[in-house]
Amino acid sequence: MNSTPSPVLSVAGLDKSYGERKILNGISLDVNCGETLVLIGASGSGKSTLLRCMGLLDPFEAGTVSLNGEVIATGGGHRRHESRAESRRRANFGFVFQQFNLFGHRTALENVMEGPRVVRGMGKAAARKLSVELLERVGVGHRLHAAVPEMSGGEQQRVAIARALAMEPQCLLLDEPTSALDPELVAEVLDVVAQLAQEGTTMVIVTHEMGFAYEAADRVVFMCNGTVHEQGPARAVLDSPSTTALKSFLRRFHYASFPSTPQPGGAVLTPALDPH
């Protein structure tokens, strides 16, 4: 019996350039079902670009992206499938960005209901029930009818996470979800993401929060100059980096572990990355 997990998401031989600048250079990577994979690396190393290519948001020059063993995008700037089919396949991914990208004129509940109603064709009552459950799950159930400008950045990002989950994605892609937040709001978002990791949500996360990566990630991938420079189990990689480049990168930060389960009274996660 083969006990090797089957990847939900795979990229193979991915090349991506902006003009003459090579951003991704032959990236190959698998993401297994229920795995939390964290991408780390210096600014400009290709982390966010890789995430966008994985989720079919950006074209690429060479390589393939596969979902559950089926190639869904190929290099050359062209998609394998027609646009309608591509749109359906992109719906397999949930996206959470640095900026929350909520509809500013709508409430938290209306923002989360939009995807299930418009994309999934769900009835209003069912979409509302799902959205309420998800907003409660991420800790903002008391803000259902709050307009976006009335919410803190941490609340807005938790609404954005609920909105992504409402599409019932096979893989959640998060691009530095705490980087636009004030320091005191980082913990409440990390708490939610850590809980999703514990629940077995398949996620790829770009972050500079090393403590979060240490505690919540199954695997860490260190990117350098558009390549996968080092990867492995999160704690092993961060405790004992084997390459000079990763050692140098980690020396810029100190990090401490934090509770990875919600505590009484709300989110208590410590912001995990502090520049020296």
Write down the pLDDT at residue 255: 55
- pLDDT at residue 253, rounded to an integer: 79
pTM: 0.87
- Report yes or no: 231 and 243 within 8 Å, Cβ to Cβ: no
pLDDT for 78: 52
| Torsional class of 176: left (φ above 0), alpha (ψ -120 to 50), beta (otherwise) | left
Q: Is 213 within 8 Å of 194 (Cβ atoms)?
A: no
Q: What is the percent of the chain where pLDDT is above 90?
A: 78
d(CA 98, CA 52): 13
How do residues 158-171 score in pLDDT, each as one tens digit? Answer: 999 999 999 999 99
Evaluate if residue 272 carries a pLDDT over 60: no
Q: Say what the pLDDT of residue 6 is.
A: 79
Picking from 142-146, 149-153, 266-270, which range would have the lowest pLDDT averaged per residue? 266-270
Other Cβ atoms less than 10 A from the Cβ of 134: the count is 23
Q: What local confidence, expressed as pLDDT, does residue 87 receive? A: 72
Domain ranges of the chain: 102-168
Query: Across the chain, what does the average pLDDT equal?
Result: 88
Q: For residue 3, what pLDDT is reported?
A: 54
Q: What are 107's strand-pairing partners? A: 147
The contacts found for 10-13 with CB under 8 angstroms, 24 or more apart, are: 10/64, 10/65, 10/66, 10/69, 11/50, 11/53, 11/54, 11/63, 11/64, 11/65, 11/66, 12/63, 12/64, 12/66, 13/62, 13/63, 13/64, 13/75
Q: Per-residue pLDDT for 198 more than 60?
A: yes
- pLDDT class for 267, splitting at 50, 70, 90? very low
18-48: pLDDT as tens digits: 988 999 999 999 999 999 999 999 999 999 9
151, pLDDT greater than 90: yes
Confidence (pLDDT) at 90? 81
Rounded to an integer, what distance in angstroms lies between the CA atom of residue 112 and that of residue 29?
A: 31
Quote the tokens at residue 169. Answer: 């994605």
3-state secondary structure 113-125: HHHHHHCCCCCHH
